[in-house]
Amino acid sequence: MKKVELLAPAGDFEKLKIAIAYGADAVYAGVSHFSLRCHSGKEFNYDNFAQAVDYAHARGVRVYATVNSFPFENQLELVKDHILKLKQIGVDAMIVSSLGVLRKAKELAPKIDIHLSTQANALNSWDYEAYRDLGVSRIIAARESTLKDLIKIKQKVPDIEIETFVHGAMCFAYSGRCLLSAVQFGRNPNKGSCANDCRYPYVLYAQNPETGKLFRLEEYPKDGTYIMNAKDLCLIEHIPEILKSGAIDSIKIEGRTKAPYYVGVVTKAYREAIDAFYEGREFDKEYFLNEILTTKNRGLSDAYLIKRPYERDDTQNLETSLTYGEWQVSGIVNEDEESFMCKYKTFAGDNVEILAPKDAKITPCKNEIGEIYQKEGRWHLRFDKIITKSGKDLGAVHSGNQNPIMLPGKLPYLSFLRKKVEFTPNGV
């Protein structure tokens, strides 16, 4: 049985390294030009993107470059130059939406695979056949597609790969075709600069046309109404069903603009879920879901892959645009594996849990700085002292402090230190 690919987001070089360390088979990323996440793409320029591609390839991981915006006429020469630079860098595939960009990419870089973006909204076997005939090797299924439909499409068009989103933010609009940000802020979502207007609280009014009187309608007096705020997609409990179908070649995690911790946790959870299925081990749905819930989210939904959109009544979060996870990242381990960078307040006496990359090895230890120990199958760290790499005893360290803080013993590079915190759904 051919194993499904796990595809993770890489919003910058650090996140690319984290995605790889935590189990991704492939990553998708891009510079800011002609990407639907142009603000995230600013983290990459052509030089460090080339370094990132080399880093991934050295570890057997594929890199798919996002070229999925819709260019205007005066941008065509720039798109051409961009495609040629990606060809020189050696990406494994280009993700495109525009029919014209697709054709030009095949002309300029015929040896690089073309993946059709979900923005193109391919929904049926006719679409898949047409794009295959144009040279597309993989189609990223429209968000509105169902697994039943994808199974039928795969049977009719077996020679094209199908990729589907399994986790991340959901767009209020049909296949992301939204102009709300363009209307309100002059930021074109289909140019990669969406302002996430659907997440904002809105105040609604009802007007009596005879009197002109406006009546204010609101669900939360101090907060407004979240009428377009979709819950986040989470299909981890459906992984066995998706993999058994045989129709899906790649499962994709959304989130190039999300935090490094999100990339690590979600990638690792789906990696473990996939491996559990193929290895015939117990599929611990509760464990996987609890790991996902340590990340910040808007509430979770299984969206449309399993059910039709019109059959759903639980896909919106009408209370808040963000639900805070119960865990806070305290720090991330540096490349020297002897120190970490603080991401939250940490005090002498604190206990934190260690989340390590896939297959990482941890050795228990105890000294004046603290102790690394295992409890109930999880690794923990207790700080007895907060000491900088230069030897200064701080007693406590807060986010923003740029001094590496010493660990009691070595921990794998890119491990996260996390601790449970008190929170409320609105984060106050």
Q: Domains in the chain, start-ordered, CATH in brackets? A: 5-170+231-308 (3.20.20.110), 175-217 (no CATH), 327-420 (2.40.30.10)
- The backbone region for 246, taken as left when phi is positive above 0, alpha when psi lies in -120 to 50, beta otherwise, is left
Which residues have CB under 8 Å from 155's CB, separation 6+? none
The lowest-confidence range among 306-315, 327-336, 358-367 is 306-315
pLDDT digit string, tens, across residues 140-186 = 999 889 999 999 999 999 999 999 999 998 777 766 666 666 667 66
341/319 Cα distance (integer angstroms): 34
307 vs 289: which has the higher pLDDT: 289
Asked if 365 and 384 count as a contact pair (C-beta separation under 8 A), the reply is no
Residue 1 has pLDDT above 50, yes or no: yes
The tokens describing 264, both together, are 């690590």
The tokens describing 416, both together, are 């996260």
pLDDT number for residue 160? 97
Tell me the residue length of the chain: 428
Spell out the alpha helix ranges (H) of 219-358. Answer: 239-245, 260-278, 285-292
Phi, psi angle pair for 141, to nearest 5°? -60, 145
Mean pLDDT calculated for residue range 271-287:
96
Mean pLDDT calculated for residue range 274-290:
95
13/68 Cα distance (integer angstroms): 20
Q: Which residue has the tokens 């295959």?
A: 132
For residue 184, the SS3 value is helix
**Whole-number mean pLDDT of the chain?**
89
Which residues have CB under 8 Å from 25's CB, separation 6+? 5, 6, 7, 61, 62
Residue 197 has pLDDT above 80, yes or no: no
Nearest to 284 by CA among 292, 276, 296: 276
Spell out the alpha helix ranges (H) of 349-406. Answer: none
The tokens describing 7, both together, are 């595809």
| Antiparallel, parallel or unpaired: β 93-96 and 161-168 | unpaired
Q: What is the pTM of this model?
A: 0.89
pLDDT digit string, tens, across residues 301-325 = 888 888 665 555 666 666 666 666 7
Rg (C-alpha) for the chain, rounded Å, is 23
Q: Which is it for the CA torsion 333, 336, 338, 340, positive or negative?
A: negative
Q: Which residue has the tokens 């923005």?
A: 119
